[in-house]
Amino acid sequence: MTTSQAPAYDERLTAPRSWWVIAVLFGLSMAVIFLPYGVIAALTGLLVGTSLGAFAVSAQGSMRIRVVTGLLVVGDARIPLAALGEPEILEGEEARAWRTYKADLRAFMAMRGFISTAVRVEVVDPEDPTPYVYLSTRTPERLAEAIRNSL
């Protein structure tokens, strides 16, 4: 019999509300563009434009971070916690610095520009060329605590 254990940490990063407003405005603009061709064409433009905008927002803005038994799961990636070192909480300018000029091209980075806080965790596995993991998160203290407690 297999027992399912609840994640120590579970966060779904979603796009800000303003992005969803922009998706609806894109649909409205498509409706206005097709309005000269008739009401049916305008409604079709509204439906298709809003759907395309919502799909783009969902694809670019959605990501899930979980800490489960022995693993850090970020989107489709599964990183063994045994390969990770001590987590570092990054806020404001320090988080921006690690997203930009301090960033290492070999690092695993799950960034969201609309989130100003992050957690950076060194990869201590000598077989892995990845120097660190950078994760945008709205609750960096909780994520760091979950990683520390699961090590």
Strand order in the sheet with 77-80: 9-13, 63-68, 71-74, 77-80
Please tell me the predicted confidence (pLDDT) of residue 8. 85
Please tell me the predicted confidence (pLDDT) of residue 88. 95
pTM for this entry? 0.80
C-alpha 54/C-alpha 83 separation (Å) is 37
**Nearest Cα to Cα of residue 96 among 129, 128, 120, 75:** 120
Please tell me the predicted confidence (pLDDT) of residue 1. 42
Residue with structure tokens 């759907």? 51
CA atoms within 13 A on the CB side of 109: 14
**Nearest Cα to Cα of residue 120 among 86, 151, 145, 146:** 86
Give Cα 36 distance to the centre of its chain.
Answer: 40
C-alpha 108/C-alpha 114 separation (Å) is 18
Please tell me the predicted confidence (pLDDT) of residue 7. 78
Tell me which residues of the chain have a pLDDT lower than 50.
1-3
Other beta carbons less than 10 A from residue 50's beta carbon: 19
List, for residues 32-58, the tens digit of each pLDDT value.
999 999 999 999 999 999 999 999 998
Please tell me the predicted confidence (pLDDT) of residue 2. 45
